[in-house]
Amino acid sequence: MKQRLQWLLRKSPLIWPKLRVPGWAAALVLIAGQALAAGGKPATKLVNVADIRTMGPGLSRWIAEVYNDNLWLYGALVVVTMALMGLILGTVFDRLVGMLGIDLGKIEHHE
């Protein structure tokens, strides 16, 4: 037992730095769990709506109405819009780079 303790004390400068990061990670998880478990008064229900009272007719009002009425449809609309924007920007910049003389096609590997 005494020899094992002496070995541990001799090796401790090498062991403790290795345990420092996992120790801090475990402490962080335990402290965060305690903080979340502490709780508080229950939150009231939040309602997120876009104010369309002062909006004139047009695309912005339609998007705001879709957001207020159906969040699933609004989410699908956002996904489709982002995909189309990516397609358009990718096509435009691919043509622009091609006009500059840079070939971004497949690269031939000579091994």
Locate the domains of the chain by residue range: 1-40, 50-110
Model confidence at 52: pLDDT above 90: no
What's the pLDDT at 107?
72
CA dist 30 and 32 (Å) reads 6
What's the pLDDT at 72?
96
Model confidence at 55: pLDDT above 80: yes
Question: What percent of the chain clears pLDDT 70, i.e. is strictly above it?
Answer: 70
Tell me the average pLDDT across 16-31: 69
Mean pLDDT of the chain: 80
